[in-house]
Structure 1
């Protein structure tokens, strides 16, 4: 009997932290109705999924959670200590998950001292607490949420021309991206107009001719705007190009971005 107890204790000490570290963390941004952040010292904000700009904040926070790294340290909180900030994630099905900054505690002279664990947070989801490493989310919980600008930006003529041009080029961009990433992914990434930067534009034939070269840098994404890489595309636009007046001249893959664990399944092996 004594031997069984010892074996159980060894199993608990050695294997349990590993299981905690490998705990699955996955929240779908489309399942989130709202997030609410409260600071103990005062101040609160709510971001709702039915607002386009606020939805972007929700997607960003969820992505930080999903791409965070589990930490092996204990996930117990000091029950007598009120977290400096509390994030409530309200799901559309009525469930609520919370995220708070993590603390490191130690006892000295029978007194317990706790201090913020820089970069660590604790996610409480489905009655399971998981300690995670996410510097971005940690900083956001402390002060970043105050800086979120959810006022609609002022539209400009330049922005409208940019968006019209991206709509015009969109099908050719999607085709080029699909052709390249089909070699590596089972899921075709998307490119949104606001993730396209115009790097260079040239009028090939001289002043007031209509043969153009345009170079773009794009960031294709999957799911909740998880970037898979960065690419540079050069198109020729001219009335003599048939059909469509657009031709891809060059495709350069600049960067490959690592996918979070719950999106690794789309990688071709």
Structure 2
């Protein structure tokens, strides 16, 4: 009898030991749920990082889709084979106008199909664009090369340029950018031209009659003057500009107004309007002084 009880006790002891070890080896439900949560969190984080990465379109792709933004540029540098060079920075209000102009020409250029000639080691003129993401783009005139008496003779192709980034190259046609790259950059003034100064002076004169609440509308002023009924003493003035606060983020608002300026009746302001949150395209048109 005692022997039977002893055998039964041993069997029960072994069963309990097996149950204890099984519980220790099996992960708890809470642990499983925690691991699942961490795994899902990591997957979500990776997906968000990948989505953010995909929104940062490479600069060369922006060129191909005509969607390059001047705000994505730190500066541009132009130099020729004689050693002359100029730098135009996004941080300078007057030089920023040059960046806008170059980006406009690039976005409105046409792609030229066919073989791209090898670029020259020392082109006559070279434009370097440094992007805010540290990518570097170079632009130079496109060349047509022929071999004459075992010499490689290259001549610039009128109106065409080669845009390069690392090993990627594309040939574009833009007569305006080509002319500027060859000559125009040397003629850029540090400040406003006499015509622009006159336009700003006239705009400021008429803006002052609108009252202090419109004082911040002085960005990219445009003014147009027409005589009334051919009388040189009476004029109708059309003015427009953007608000300065839009320059520091957010959307621009656009002010438009007209003024009747007569030696008989004085100044009379008419058609005063503010258009809020205008599109980037409309703000570019307002600020553009080039074609």
Query: TM-score under structure 1 normalisation?
Result: 0.56
Superposition map of 1:142-181 within 5 A: 142-151=182-191, 159-166=200-207
TM alignment of 1:12-31, pairs within 5 A: 23-31=64-72
TM value normalised by structure 2? 0.52
Query: Which structure 2 residue ranges, 5 or more long, are not aligned?
Result: 1-62, 212-216, 243-255, 262-267, 273-280, 282-291
More helix by share: 2
Higher RCO (CA 8 Å, separation ≥ 6 residues) = 1
CA spacing shift, 1:196–1:157, aligned 2, 3 Å: closer
Give 1:158 shift: 8.1
> In structure 1, how many angstroms separate the alpha carbons of the residues matched to 2:81 and 2:143?
15
Structure 1 stretch 53-62 or stretch 190-199: which is displaced more? Answer: 190-199
Change (3 A) 1:117 1:219: farther
* 3-state SS of 1:38 partner: strand
Query: Equivalences for 1:1-269 in 2 at 5 Å?
Result: 23-79=64-120, 81-108=121-148, 111-125=151-165, 127-151=167-191, 159-166=200-207, 193-200=220-227, 214-216=236-238, 246-248=269-271
Residues 83-118 of structure 1: CA distance to partner in whole angstroms, max 9, x if unpaired? 111111011111111110110123456543311101
Determine which structure has more spread, i.e. the larger CA radius of gyration.
2
Q: Relative to 1, partners in 2 of residues 1:128 and 1:78: Cα closer, same or farther, differing over 3 Å?
A: closer
Deviations 1:178-205 (A, max 9, x none): xxxxxxxxxxxx9955322222369x9x
Which residue number corresponds to residue 19 of structure 2?
none
**Could you say if the C-alpha distance between residues 193 and 50 of structure 1 is closer, same or farther in structure 2, counting changes exceeding 3 Å?**
closer
Calculate the aligned-residue CA RMSD, in Å.
Answer: 4.3
Count of residue correspondences:
188
Matched residue SS, 2:97: helix
C-alpha change, 1:167 and 1:97, in structure 2 (3 Å) is farther
Deviations 1:169-226 (A, max 9, x none): 79xxxxxxxxxxxxxxxxxxx9955322222369x9xx9xxxx972438799xxxxxx
* CA displacement at 1:247 relative to structure 2: 3.7
Q: 1:140 Cα deviation (Å)? A: 1.2
Shift of 1:138: 1.0
Secondary structure at the residue paired with 1:75? coil
Q: Which residue number in structure 2 is paired with residue 9 of structure 1? A: none
- 2: CA distance, partners of 1:164 / 1:217: 11
Structure 1: 5+ residue stretches without partners:
1-21, 171-189, 221-231, 238-244, 250-258, 260-269
1:39–1:85 contact (8 Å) kept in structure 2: yes
